Structure 1
């Protein structure tokens, strides 16, 4: 998958799914579905870049043209070849998700927004779906000032050469969020562009599927509801870093996980988790970073049969027994030992076991951890 923050570097023409897509929940997937090119589904590679060169010729697009909102970060060192992005028809549109970075809410409030799917996770999820391109529009004052009509003309028509657009029925865009999904349909029709309006979806219990509802469920420890709305378990993905090694001294060594700072944390407490040791992770360090990525089959793509999924107990919290101050993520893998430092773990939350609590002694903590492990084994041994 090709990822770029420059419209000038985007592969065109495009078939566009437009939105924020935080969480890539079941409702989001209905927005993305109409733009997928199933005949070219190749969910095993990605090139991440802030800019780059087109991988096939783009008839009718002036690569040197300047946009009123260029969203550019030109970089000629980006990779110019990708596996899985070839077609017999050069004019077949690239299935493209267009989103905003930072999240518009973060831009307008000035407050960092906690995300269900930070960029690296979003890249992996979209690649697993078969999306060929992710365009990250830098959300700044210039972009925010575009009217709905200007956004369509400048970004979707002239820069991305969109031939089809898909949005959720509640999508808003343009200056002051004045444009509606119906407005988009009307404006785009004047350019001969079809717009699909995905309806709002609810889960089996009648709860509307939304990123906000998922955050609320996670904040309360309701993993069943979060799973229903997401269509998959919520996961914490991060790198194993050094810690105080206290767990090792009481017989329960833990892997300390460093998450992206913008990652949304679930309710503090202890969880039964399934853990995947990932061979590679999407890594995006700065605007000029490029990365050719081939991932193994993974639970994200629903094809985990050839992988070893480990069972574990995870604590999310501040470790009050040892007077911890900052939230930490610690995972104890059941019946497994080895060196994990520097590796990337993906922990899927299966069941919330108990709230975080302060114990009178390390012996009391040790006894409780053993009890947590016993419960986790029973939970994780149940057929899914």
Structure 2
């Protein structure tokens, strides 16, 4: 997947999906599908797809299948505060690549972009910059200064330049009027992991590098990988999770199946921890993990964070957590993947 934030290096012409796409949930996926190669078999979000050339537009689409998003997130620009993201940029890149997107354009969201009228946005961004031949947006997409442009405005203005606009209808959601990143954040905060994963269409993931920790888990007989995440990563409810871990193959140069694991997110109140940590114990692994980038898929929420009266009680609970996680993950092997 080609990634650029410069009009000098963008691959044109383009078939564009417009939006922020934080989380890339099932609603977002519906917006992106119209700009993908129609001959490509649907790519499951947990498998690697794509295979486009960086020099040839995909067959059947009059332009490079391009996701256009904003960097930083518009809310950060207007509020001046860092926004916690479901998918920080490295995660978003990997998910889009696996989904089959050919190009990712990161529009710098600044004062100049924010001040464009809807007509100027179409003319300067879609026509001149991207040379778009078609555009796909969600039903509630807004654009231009003060978000004054509607989807119907986009359709009317773009038609003057021969740009076809597809407005993707509302994706059904059993937990509200529509699937949204806000509902997913709320679900994760409350520990409703299954709900969040259903809305995402895949397991919520954490992507980070293994760094040196206090090695308390090793002294208890359960060595853990301390995961350093991007500071903007949105953390779910503190507690213990059953997880699947990938990324081990990079160091060992061979195919390694996803590893079963148990993960703790929180401040470790039993040992008077101050700052939240993310620690993963692999149930069937004893190799070196330092410096590796791991992807941790949250498959099940086992219990909330709690304080124990002694380290012995903590150790006994960790053993129960490991047994619970193994049973849970092995039972899920026979379940179909979320569509």
Q: TM-score, normalised by structure 2?
A: 0.91
Does residue 170 (structure 1) correspond to residue 140 (structure 2)? The answer is yes
Which residue matches 2:261?
Answer: 312
Which residue matches 2:244?
Answer: 274
1:1-384 superposed matches below 5 A? 1-39=1-39, 83=53, 85-86=55-56, 92-204=62-174, 208-279=178-249, 307-382=256-331, 383-384=334-335
CA-CA distance at 1:236 after TM superposition: 0.7
Query: What count of residue pairs does the alignment treat as equivalent?
Result: 326
Give distance in 2, aligned partners of 1:128 and 1:262.
22
Do the aligned partners of residues 88 and 19 (structure 1) sit closer, same or farther apart at CA in structure 2, a change above 3 Å counting? closer
Do the aligned partners of residues 176 and 132 (structure 1) sit closer, same or farther apart at CA in structure 2, a change above 3 Å counting? same
Give distance in 2, aligned partners of 1:157 and 1:323.
57
Give distance in 2, aligned partners of 1:107 and 1:372.
42
Give distance in 2, aligned partners of 1:103 and 1:329.
25
Contact 2:246–2:296 (CA<8 Å) still a contact in 1?
yes
CA-CA distance at 1:124 after TM superposition: 0.9
Higher relative contact order (CA 8 A, sep 6+): 1
Contact 2:58–2:64 (CA<8 Å) still a contact in 1?
no
Do the aligned partners of residues 225 and 358 (structure 1) sit closer, same or farther apart at CA in structure 2, a change above 3 Å counting? same
Contact 1:40–1:84 (CA<8 Å) still a contact in 2?
no
Q: Which segments of 5 or more consecutive residues in structure 1 lack a partner in the other structure?
A: 47-81, 282-295, 297-305
Contact 1:38–1:130 (CA<8 Å) still a contact in 2?
no
Give distance in 1, aligned partners of 2:158 and 2:289.
51
Residues 77-119 of structure 1 deviation map (CA, whole Å, 9 limit, x = unaligned): xxxxx95643598994100000000000111011100111111
CA-CA distance at 1:313 after TM superposition: 0.6
RMSD: 2.3
CA-CA distance at 1:229 after TM superposition: 0.5
Give distance in 2, aligned partners of 1:133 and 1:40.
16
Contact 2:31–2:136 (CA<8 Å) still a contact in 1?
yes
